[in-house]
Amino acid sequence: MARVKRGVTTHARHKKVLAQSKGFVGRSSTNYRIALERLEKSLQYAYRDRRVKKREFRALWIQRINAATRAEGLPYSRFIAGIKQAGIEMDRKVLAAIAFENPAEFTEIVNAVKAVLDASATPAEAAA
């Protein structure tokens, strides 16, 4: 039986890791053992941060909506409650984009929400 030499396989594996670690700082991009550790860690960060990114964007949208609604004299929580009562089906991403790019249109939405909130207010709340 012929002897199996695995230099070609090893070289290919090393080459693949070093190609993926291109751009890392220092020996992390040139030394296989260090590059492998850094690459594994970078893949863990990438996996985690694909989920964190969603959280961060939602938080950004909420901040933008809150700032825009407070400028109109309505807190975020009342705005969201009112938008659901009004039957306006826009997600936070779209609302934030409108608030950021078209403040006049967003003011119209806020006014519609205020009208619904005022109509649904009980007489005791309206008197206060």
User: pLDDT of 21-71, one tens digit each?
Assistant: 999 999 999 999 999 999 999 999 999 999 999 999 999 999 999 999 999
* DSSP assigned state of 25: S
Ranges of each domain in the chain: 9-51, 53-127
CATH of domain 53-127: 1.10.1900.20
What residues have CB less than 8 Å from 17, skipping those under 6 apart?
32, 35, 36, 39
| Model confidence band, residue 10 (pLDDT cutoffs 50, 70, 90) | very high
What is the pTM (predicted TM-score) of this model? 0.77
Asked if pLDDT for residue 126 goes beyond 70, the answer is no
* DSSP assigned state of 89: -
| Model confidence band, residue 121 (pLDDT cutoffs 50, 70, 90) | confident
What span, in angstroms and rounded, lies between the C-alpha atoms of 50 and 61? 17
